[in-house]
Amino acid sequence: MQSINISTLQNWKNKKNKFAAITAYDFSFAKLFSNQGIPVILVGDSLGMTIQGHNSTIPVTVENIEYHTKAVRKGAPNVFLISDLPFMSYYQINQTLQNTSKIIQSGANMIKIEGGKYLINIIKELSNQSILVCGHIGLTPQHINYLSGYQVQGTTEKDANRIIEEALSLEDAGIKMLVLECIPSRLAKKITEKLSIPVIGIGAGNYTDGQILVMQDLLGITEGKQMKFVKNFLLNNGSIQNAIKTYISEVKNGIFPNEKYSF
């Protein structure tokens, strides 16, 4: 695979070429995903649940993210690699810069942070240091206790307007990509059209520039009740390789997510 960078993704946005992304946490899966043509991988703090067995992302540490970022980068040297800054690791500027430097030095191209307008000063400082930042609004798992569970966001006019406002403010502060999680597809469409930067959706319909799924969800190995937006691509595809190829193709062609997997 040719090396993917932020200019590549921006060019796809401009040309309305949709792209697929996936989480990964180790060398083997990162290599497999890259070999099938996945251009963007996220080392998500979802590893707290999928790898460590916690019931939320909150226990994940910067050291955890560093470790898994190094492993994924070795497996997928040419993908655009995003890594999460975990819970309470970016509430002060100096602390944020220190933690970000560790993760970027581990191999990430971009860091992702969850939250709205209160992050503007931190985003501006990171941008001043030439660090690529991905925002994340809508359902933000690090705030799960405050949100009282995994629920769709932006369902009222007031909440939808707040999310639009947050998206515009974050772009103005300097983010170069935005993740929208668990919001109605029509709201995601508005935001994607208003923003000049690439927008990736998870449970946000198929109007966004890209889609992302947690690898365990995509492969149907997550136990318990699944979120509405989760599709098991392994079920009818015979192999992990074919499942990934089908996922990439369905995202590129706007097939996934259809109404069944959208709010």
pLDDT tens profile 194-253: 999 999 999 999 999 999 999 999 999 988 778 899 999 999 999 999 999 999 999 999
114 is in an annotated binding site: yes
Question: pTM for this structure?
Answer: 0.96
Indicate whether 154 pLDDT > 90.
Answer: yes
Q: Bridge-partner residues for 162, per DSSP?
A: none
148 — pLDDT class (breaks 50, 70, 90): low
**Mean pLDDT of all residues belonging to the chain:** 96
Burial 211-221 (b: 16+ CB within 10 A, else e): bbbbbbbbbee
Indicate whether 140 pLDDT > 80.
Answer: yes
Q: Where are the alpha helices (DSSP H) in 174-218?
A: 185-194, 215-218
Average pLDDT over residues 168-172: 98
Average pLDDT over residues 165-184: 98
141 — pLDDT class (breaks 50, 70, 90): confident
- Cis ω on the peptide bond leading into residue 257 (within 30° of 0)? yes
Looking at residue 36, its pLDDT comes to 98
Average pLDDT over residues 151-179: 96
Looking at residue 149, its pLDDT comes to 63
The residues assigned a catalytic role are 181
252 is in an annotated binding site: no
Indicate whether 263 pLDDT > 80.
Answer: yes
Q: Is 38 helix (H, G, I), strand (E, B) or coil?
A: coil
Cβ atoms 221, 193 nearer than 8 A = no
Q: What is the pLDDT of residues 100-126, one digit of tens each?
A: 999 999 999 999 999 999 999 999 999
217 is in an annotated binding site: no
146 — pLDDT class (breaks 50, 70, 90): low
Looking at residue 225, its pLDDT comes to 78
Domains and CATH numbers, the chain: 6-261 (3.20.20.60)
First to last CA, the chain: 34
Looking at residue 73, its pLDDT comes to 98
CA 216 to chain centre: 15
45 is in an annotated binding site: yes
> pLDDT > 70: what percent of the chain?
98
Q: Which amino acid is at 41?
A: I
